[in-house]
Structure 1
Amino acid sequence: MKSKLLVVLLISAFVLSSCGSLPQVSLGNSGAKVAEEMELQELQAEPTEAVLPDNGAFFRDEFDGDITNDWGLKVVSGLESQLIWEQINGKLRLQTLPPNDTNFIFLNTKHTYDDVIVTAEVSDAGPLDATMSLICRASEAGWYEFRISPSGYYELLRFDQYLRDDGKNAYTNFVEKRVGSTKIVSGLNTNQFSLSCVGSTISAFVNGEQLYWEKRPLAVEDNSYSDGTVGFGMAGYGKEYDLTFDWIEVSKP
């Protein structure tokens, strides 16, 4: 048992030493303020059913270039040393190590938006209780966040920094709990998911279809945050997780 543990620790140390880093980068007038205020860290960021518009992308990142040019890391929970990331064949692979619960988000360090749609394609290699997240309107005050899980559940959340500063749970779940949806392809598969932030309406899509909650299209009204940067990430519960972001796209509503 001791020899097996030693092997695992040696392998983890080798992987960590081989990974890249996400340094701080200049953001220009607004970007630098976002990075500084949000403490982005270095790595050693009656409704009717809607459809996703095709109005063109602000940008699309297929992770075939140096991600340190456009993204910074924010550790919401866990330790930075628990995150392993690497770019492989135009994809971004994210792995986490136990024992702490983790929540890592990558925030764009170049642009801020008011009305925006963020979409990503993700693949999971297990375990199935990890969550993949998309972020919009992120600032030092907070952000909106949409999570899906390979187990077939989703959450639509708001993060408020003032609650965290008071030692409270910073997340408010607009759907009150984790909700199951057959639109999510469960298991070790690939999904596309989108977070739409337009005016005061926050809505979520999976594989091109709007989610439903309580038999109605999921579209919540909230005016806490009007603009900010965008991002993506992963969260887990003290296990070794392994998932991949194939690409992320930020588009006009």
Structure 2
Amino acid sequence: MKIKKWVFIAAITALVSVGGSACAPAAAIESTPQPTQTPYVIVVTPTAAEVSATPEPTEPLAAPDAETPRGEEPPKYFREEFDGGLDDFEQILWTGRFGKDKIYTEDGKLKVRLNAMYLAPYLTYDPYTYTDVRLEVSAENLAYNDNHITLVCRYDEELGWYEFNISSNGLFRINYYDNTLVKGHVKLWNGGSNDIKMGRQINKITAECIGTQLSLYVNDVLLKTVEHKDLREGRVGLGVSSFNQFPVNVDFEYFDISQP
């Protein structure tokens, strides 16, 4: 699991010592002459002592408790537009073999290329876990319709996760992956919708995980809300799956994580 960490530099306090002394001039001493003596005066001349100067600091002194972070904290709620790398994401392949899939960013898009049957790579956002969350992607199908375009919420490596799938053939599913008892997918709902743009088109897919309610939308139309109580918190992500035909090529324009 890749997690960004803060790096801190402790502030250091410099102590500067000042030393020095001076001799005060002695008062003049006058001798009282005897009547038979000639009067005279003894004068004591003061000698100046050297005083060491206080050195000037070469750099500003930091406050004792100041902390200087390096880097920036990754955002929790934001829209990922795939203009850079995928350092905050972890790739997980649940079926198939690595080497048959390519996931990369190019031209401001996340590109998923699957060149084998029954591949299901997911990308999960590592820095945070979420309870109630809203996820949204804009996904374009560029090859076969026999696919799943997936959003994931409450991903927990030990317990499982919830996933929302639409297919470019007009079908959709809401699944619970039970990693404790079943060790596989449990269907919560499946169906079809004319609101899914079939073929090589772009669909906006939205998933909401709020309490025990799991809702799937496509192109701003609610397809289904189901209830399930087993998972309460976890990471979020997105993915693509292939089945009997390949290649499966999907481009994501953005991945949005927001509060519902």
- TM-score of the superposed pair, with normalisation by structure 2: 0.69
Paired with 1:229 and 1:183, the residues of 2 have a C-alpha distance of: 28
Paired with 1:146 and 1:25, the residues of 2 have a C-alpha distance of: 24
> Could you tell me which of 52, 55, 65 is aligned with 2:84?
65
Counterpart of 1:236 in structure 2 is: 242
Counterpart of 1:207 in structure 2 is: 219
* Contact 2:3/2:88 (8 A) holds in 1: no
* Contact 1:202/1:221 (8 A) holds in 2: yes
Read off the aligned partner of 1:60 and give its amino acid letter: R
Q: What does residue range 39-118 of structure 1 map to in structure 2 within 5 Å?
A: 58-67=77-86, 69-98=87-116, 100-118=117-135
Q: Decide which structure has greater helix share.
A: 1
Gaps of 5+ in 1: 1-23, 30-56, 212-217
Counterpart of 1:48 in structure 2 is: none
* Contact 1:28/1:110 (8 A) holds in 2: no
The structure number with the bigger radius of gyration is 2
Paired with 1:231 and 1:26, the residues of 2 have a C-alpha distance of: 15
Q: In the superposition, relative to structure 1, how do residues 91 and 126 fare at CA in structure 2: closer, same or farther (>3 Å)?
A: same
Q: In the superposition, relative to structure 1, how do residues 164 and 75 fare at CA in structure 2: closer, same or farther (>3 Å)?
A: farther
Paired with 1:154 and 1:92, the residues of 2 have a C-alpha distance of: 22
Paired with 1:235 and 1:77, the residues of 2 have a C-alpha distance of: 9
Deviation at 1:86, TM superposition (A): 2.4
Establish whether residue 219 from structure 1 lines up as the match of residue 233 from structure 2.
no
Paired with 1:115 and 1:27, the residues of 2 have a C-alpha distance of: 23
Q: In the superposition, relative to structure 1, how do residues 138 and 27 fare at CA in structure 2: closer, same or farther (>3 Å)?
A: farther
User: What root-mean-square deviation, in Å, do the aligned CA atoms of Structure 1 and Structure 2 show?
Assistant: 1.7
* Contact 2:153/2:162 (8 A) holds in 1: yes
Q: In the superposition, relative to structure 1, how do residues 94 and 122 fare at CA in structure 2: closer, same or farther (>3 Å)?
A: same
> Could you tell me which of 198, 201, 205 is aligned with 1:193?
205
> Could you tell me which of 243, 247, 251 is aligned with 2:254?
247
Paired with 2:121 and 2:249, the residues of 1 have a C-alpha distance of: 13
Deviation at 1:183, TM superposition (A): 1.1
Deviation at 1:159, TM superposition (A): 0.5
Deviation at 1:187, TM superposition (A): 1.0
- Secondary structure class of the residue paired with 1:111: strand
- TM-score of the superposed pair, with normalisation by structure 1: 0.71
Paired with 1:195 and 1:149, the residues of 2 have a C-alpha distance of: 15
Read off the aligned partner of 1:158 and give its amino acid letter: Y
Aligned residues: 189
What do residues 111-168 of structure 1 show as CA deviations (whole Å, max 9, x unaligned)?
A: 1110001100000011011110000010111110000111111000111112465xxx
Read off the aligned partner of 2:248 and give its amino acid letter: Y
